[in-house]
């Protein structure tokens, strides 16, 4: 599997389309060593805990 550090995005900026490199949000910080489903599960659990605590 190829290790991808940046992904190309196309955005409409100042009246024209332009390409730019954007780092993948899920591959930053401590999430880069975790499988995607595990990291999404952690985010979901934190969201549930915060929802209950700040209710």
Residue 20: the pLDDT is 72
Cα(32)–Cα(17) distance, rounded to whole angstroms? 30
Angle (nearest 5°) at CA 7 between 21 and 44: 115
Q: What pTM, to 2 d.p., does this model score?
A: 0.47
Residue 51: the pLDDT is 97
Contact predicate 43/51, CB 8 Å: no
Residue 24: the pLDDT is 64
Residue 36: the pLDDT is 77
Q: What is the pLDDT of residues 1-55, one digit of tens each?
A: 455 556 677 888 788 888 877 666 656 666 667 787 888 899 999 999 999 999 8
């Amino acid at each position: 599997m190829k290790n991808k550090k940046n992904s190309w995005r196309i955005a409409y900026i100042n009246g024209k389309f332009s390409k730019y490199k954007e780092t993948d949000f899920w591959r930053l910080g401590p999430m880069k060593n975790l499988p995607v489903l595990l990291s999404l599960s952690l985010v979901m659990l934190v969201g549930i805990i915060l929802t209950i605590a700040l209710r």
